[in-house]
Amino acid sequence: MASSTTRLFETRVLSLIAVAIVINIVGNQINDLVRLPIFLDSIGTVLVGVLAGPLAGGVTGLLTNLILGLIVSPVAAAFAPVAIVIGVVAGLMARAGWFRTWWQAAVTGVVIAAALTLVAVPIRIYMFGGVTGSGADFIVGYLSSVGQTLFSSVALTVFGTNVADKVITALIVWALVRQLPERLTSGYGHLQHSRA
């Protein structure tokens, strides 16, 4: 393991992952003020995916949820695979050049939401019975009461509640990487895929 972390990530990337985890955790402090119906808990994960690649993005997501599980709620740890998918997909999309323009970033947000839905739905159904105690449970309840199956109710809810969040997150990251000074980004080779 020692050699693997040394080989996989430079110290600069390790430091980036560490601060990105904190950005994820304090992201909802920002949302307390703007009161948008979004989570804002993966700006750091997507940012690392764009700057340092899918593996670093996935590690950022994993550790964010493990740390949240440790200090806030173990429920967060159960959704760690979802956070991994967000980071990996953001990194892969960036590598494929889908962070060059604002509309590509928006499409990337939709793709991230679709990918995380595939992972989040089984966790939400088999571990939590489809509900987690969040506001989105009202949508699951409504869809179930109008005849949707539990699976489709949860899938539609997860995708619907995440798509706006991930599009906004991807657009914020796109705006960020465009205006960051060269001295802060010069060491992140993966960023070349997202330069217009």
Partner 1 sequence: MRSWSIHRPGTSALHRANPLTKLAALLLLAALLFVLPWPGAWAGSLLLLAAAFGLRIGGVVLRRYLVLATPFLIAVFIFHGLIVDRPDRMPLAAFLSYSQEGLTYAAVLGGRISLMLAGSLLFVATTHPAALLRSLDVAGMPPGLSFLLASPLLLIDEFTKRAGAIRDAQQARGMRVDTLSDRLRALRLLAVPLVTLALADAQERSGVLNGRAFRAFPRRAVLSPPPDTALERRLRHVLVAVSVLLVGCALWLG
> What residues line the site for partner 1 (CB under 8 A)?
1-6, 9-12, 14-23, 25-27, 29-30, 33-36, 40, 43-44, 47, 59, 63-64, 66-67, 69-75, 128-134, 137, 140-141, 144-145, 150, 168, 172, 175-176, 179-180, 183-185, 187
Q: How far is the CB of 90 from partner 1 (least distance, A)?
A: 14
Smallest distance, partner 1 to C-beta of residue 41, A:
12
Q: Which is nearer to partner 1, 12 or 195 (CB)?
A: 12
Least CB distance to partner 1 at residue 139 (A)? 11
Shortest Å, Cβ 77 to partner 1: 8
CA distances from 162 to 71, 108, 152, 166, 178 (A): 24, 13, 15, 6, 24
Collapse the DSSP code of 141 into the 3-class scheme (helix H, G, I; strand E, B; otherwise coil) and give the result: helix
The residue among 66 and 156 lying less far from partner 1, judged by its C-beta, is 66
What span, in angstroms and rounded, lies between the C-alpha atoms of 37 and 160?
A: 11
Q: Are 143 and 153 in contact (CB under 8 A)?
A: yes
Identify the three-state secondary structure at position 97: coil
CB-nearer residue toward partner 1: 118 or 184: 184
Nearer to partner 1, 118 or 175 (CB): 175
Cα–Cα distance list, 16 to 77, 93, 133, 185, 192 (Å):
21, 19, 32, 11, 17
Nearer to partner 1, 23 or 116 (CB): 23
Q: How far is the CB of 166 from partner 1 (least distance, A)?
A: 14
Residues 6+ apart with CB under 8 A from 48: 13, 16, 17, 20, 56, 57, 60, 87, 91
